[in-house]
A and B are shown apart, each in its own frame.
Chain A
């Protein structure tokens, strides 16, 4: 079946540190891959996405590259800010008309 595995948190970093949150997936065919972010007290927001192999999604300084050979979609940011503190969810969508499948979420805490 389809599934998403992402690194356990919490991840605690100092401001301006480099961030990597690992995400790997299991799916048949060619899923679309997403990172969603949930800031404290807010709803889920799409952060970035990639719909085919080797695509790079980017937004707000975050990047993730769709790697089919390693079935991965790791989230990276070169210099995190306190305002990046949130829960990050990796997700996949494999078939039109079906719901997203989410990883467990990774809590990021950035201190100044």
Chain B
């Protein structure tokens, strides 16, 4: 299993500013993912955080808006840049362990942009 600590748990930010979300895992994992969950919606994959190389972004998400760091096998950050109210969502960090058998999620960061 994996225990994920995600910080901050929530924040209220002014439009035009940036917020960096941290994800710390209690064990080394190969695959780390960042999701967005907009109000009343399902989870949408933003990107796969690759250790030692650039993140792999899904269609509709770009590095300039959502820069991701993955300095080692237990830690990643997601930055939401130049925020607008449309970025108000829950952002979740996830890891998979033992291939496809299970994914673990952080508690999420509830972001409100005003």
Please list the residues of chain A having a beta carbon within 8 angstroms of any beta carbon in chain B.
31-32, 34, 36, 42-46, 49, 51, 89, 91, 93-105
Contact = CB atoms under 8 A, between A and B. Distances in A.
Interface stretch (B12-20, B69-77, B78-86, B100-108): B100-108
A42 B90 CA distance: 11
A42 B107 contact: yes
A99 B49 CA distance: 11
Contacts of A105: 41-42
Contact of B105 (A43, A94, A96): A43
Contacts, number: 57
B33 A49 contact: no
A32 B101 contact: yes
Contact of A99 (B41, B42, B48, B102): B48
A89 B108 contact: no
A49 B97 CA distance: 14
B88 interface: no
Contacts of A32: 100-101
In this complex, the member of A31, A98, A99, A101 whose beta carbon has the largest number of chain B beta carbons within 10 angstroms is A99
Contacts of A104: 41-42
A99 B100 contact: no
Contacts of A45: 105
Chain B interface size range: 20 to 34
Contacts of A43: 92, 105-108
Nearest to B107: A43
Given A43-B106, A44-B105, A102 B31 contact: no
In this complex, the member of A43, A49, A98 whose beta carbon has the largest number of chain B beta carbons within 10 angstroms is A43
Contact of A44 (B30, B92, B100): B92
A62 to B, nearest CB: 16
Contacts of A101: 45
Contact of A93 (B100, B107, B108): B100
Contacts of A102: 42-43
Contacts of B43: 44, 89, 100, 102
Contacts of B52: none
